[in-house]
Amino acid sequence: MSTTIPSPIMDASQAHSQDCRASPFLLLPYHIRHEIYMFVLEYPDFRPIFARMEYDCARGEGEHDRRRLPKCVLPTPHVPARLKVTPGIFLCNRQIAMEAREAMNFKVFTLRRPPPYTITLGRPMDITEFISQDTLKNMRRVELVMNLFDDARGWCKTVEILLDVWSTANHLKKIDISLEQPEELPSGTLWHERSARHVIKMLSMIQSFARECGIELTGTPLPALNVKKANVDL
């Protein structure tokens, strides 16, 4: 996919005078530096991070149960620093970090599952606990790969939070939706009847948001979202 290379955050003379002595990398033409950033940077796969948080929360909740402590004293879950990922290039000098962050905005952010559900919250953790609102607002392209058999309600909550963030400000150009075929369901059936209300609400919200904001929307079954996959009262 071709992208428009952004202008340098500083002009050549500024970059040379401020940082080139410290980093010969900045002597390269900006378009080459941008291509290098695009090659080395990727958003993290959040699945192992979510799984670790899920395990830690379940272990803490189990310990409270064994000690017969009330639920109200369960600590609010938070993401520990050891699970937070910062690309090393962001820790270089200021000019390189700024250019790398700008390039990162053009990478595809892929989310393959919602954050874990916790008893303490009574709902999934917020996606903004794992990735900042500013990062979300500056993204150009997002890919949501959903298995709606596993956690349709969790996906619905996560999408609501994403749309709340993007409704205040966004640079989105494209949202791609991929619905995985659950192994537990017949071919062509992408969600269980009991989840239909949450699925239809979520997909409709995404479609309305994309239409109002002029964002390209691709995926299934969104091209003709008259979603009547299940006979349920909505």
Contact 99, 37 (CB under 8 A): yes
Q: What is the pLDDT of residue 80?
A: 79
In terms of Cα–Cα distance, which of 95, 127, 126 is closest to 109?
127
Establish how many alpha carbons lie within 13 A of residue 180's alpha carbon, considering only the half-sphere containing its beta carbon.
16
Query: Helix 196-213 and helix 148-168: axis angle, to 10°?
Result: 30
Most distant CA pair in the chain, distance = 68
Domain boundaries, the chain: 12-224
Residue with tokens 């239909």: 196
**Higher pLDDT, residue 129 or 224:** 129
The two tokens of residue 1 are 């996919």
What does DSSP assign to residue 7?
P
* Confidence band for 221, pLDDT divided at 50, 70 and 90: low
Cα–Cα distance for residue pair 125/154, rounded to 1 Å: 9
Contact 191, 199 (CB under 8 A): yes
Q: What is the pLDDT of residues 27-40, one digit of tens each?
A: 999 999 999 999 99
Per-residue 3-state assignment (H helix, E strand, C coil) for 76-98:
CCCCCHHHCCCCHHHHCCHHHHH
Say how far apart CA 227 and CA 230 lie, in whole Å: 8
Confidence band of 129 (pLDDT split at 50, 70, 90): very high
pLDDT at site 45: 94
- State pLDDT tens for residues 42-83: 999 999 999 998 888 877 776 666 666 666 667 777 787 888
The mean pLDDT of 92-96, rounded to a whole number, is 89
Listed as own residue / partner, the contacts of 217-222 with beta carbons closer than 8 Å and 24 or more positions apart are 217/174, 217/175, 217/176, 217/177, 218/174, 218/175, 218/176, 218/177, 219/144, 219/175, 219/176, 219/177, 219/178, 219/179, 220/177, 220/178, 220/179, 220/190, 221/179, 221/190, 222/177
